[in-house]
A and B are shown apart, each in its own frame.
Chain A
């Protein structure tokens, strides 16, 4: 199973957490969770759907913990206790993107980080894993129209963020 799904899980996590080491950690956690709870897997849903769901949840957990660490660090510095530098994630260079698109993709990944969680997941699964809206709706346990709406709002928000960021 690891052989068949490791690339999908890793690629999904990489698109969301935007860091190779963190993505590998998330992918490992996904398979450990699968090993622990394979008995609870219901045959009616596809294994890949289940794996995507765990991968997205774990990736979001990591982003949340990263954010709270950052907040705590800022608070410590405010009171003059912390000495660590600000935990900033450098611009992400996705290894699967062609050279002529790299700069644009870097800006898009940066903007993606500012999207609400569900929009981020829908957009990432659609773009990075080329999942259809139907498949995304199964992963996110919602309807196809809800995904269409999420994608529409994600694109609108990305446009706004990019307009603000671009001079």
Chain B
């Protein structure tokens, strides 16, 4: 009984001995080619400007320019000494600083 059972198990274990290789289904290559064409479509190249490193750098640059402008406007445009210098220079070279105003006043 036990020997019979062992023989049966050995038969099962050897049932794949010398099994023939199965061929791939017909038109395998055609289907593979179609799938490759479907799956291997190259992704559209992203512009370099969209790369995070450039986008981040641009943001930092814009913020820096803004900061510089804000701080420079916070300062008085000209100090008293600068105004005096401009006026003395204008009179030295006979430049009428109100020229524009006067021209506008002309009939």
Q: Classify the interface of chain A: helix, strand, loop or mixed.
A: helix
Contact B40 A7 (CB under 8 A): no
In Å, the complex CA distance between A128 and B17 comes to 8
Looking at the assembled complex, report how far the CB atom of B1 sits from the nearest CB atom of chain A, in whole angstroms.
12
Counting CB contacts under 8 A, is B32 at the interface?
yes
Looking at A43-51, A58-66, A100-108, A140-148, the stretch in contact with chain B turns out to be A100-108
- Residues from 46 to 97 in B contacting A, C-beta threshold 8 Å: none
Is the Cβ of A20 less than 8 Å from the Cβ of B5? no
The answer to whether B16 touches A127, judged by C-beta atoms less than 8 angstroms apart, is yes
Report 6 cross-chain contacts, Cβ distance below 8 Å, ordered by A residue. A3-B29, A6-B24, A7-B22, A14-B22, A108-B12, A155-B13
- Chain A interface (Cβ < 8 Å from any Cβ of B): 2-3, 6-11, 14, 20, 24, 27-28, 31-32, 35-36, 94-97, 101, 104-105, 107-108, 111, 127-129, 155, 158-159, 162-163, 166
Residue B103 lies at the interface, judged by CB distance under 8 Å to chain A: no
A-B contact count (CB 8 A): 88
Interface residue from A9, A105, A166 paired with B8 (Cβ < 8 Å): A166
Interface size class of B (residues with CB under 8 A): 20 to 34
Given A31-B32, A35-B36; A8-B21 close (CB under 8 Å): yes
Indicate if the CB atoms of B16 and A105 lie closer than 8 Å: yes
CA distance A11 to B15 in the complex (A): 17
Residue B99 is within 8 A (CB to CB) of chain A in the complex: no
Beta-carbon nearest neighbor of A95 in chain B: B22
Please report the C-alpha to C-alpha distance between residue A62 and residue B5 in the assembled complex, in whole angstroms.
34
Question: What's the least CB distance linking B81 to chain A, in Å?
Answer: 71
- Check A20/B25 contact, CB under 8 A, given A28-B35, A32-B35: yes
B101 at the A interface (CB under 8 A): no
CB distance from B58 to the nearest CB of A (A): 34
Q: Which of B1-44 contact A (CB under 8 A)?
A: 5, 8-9, 11-13, 15-17, 19-25, 28-29, 31-32, 35-36, 39-40
Given contacts A162-B12, A166-B5, 5 further A-B contacts (CB under 8 A): A20-B25, A28-B31, A28-B35, A32-B32, A127-B17
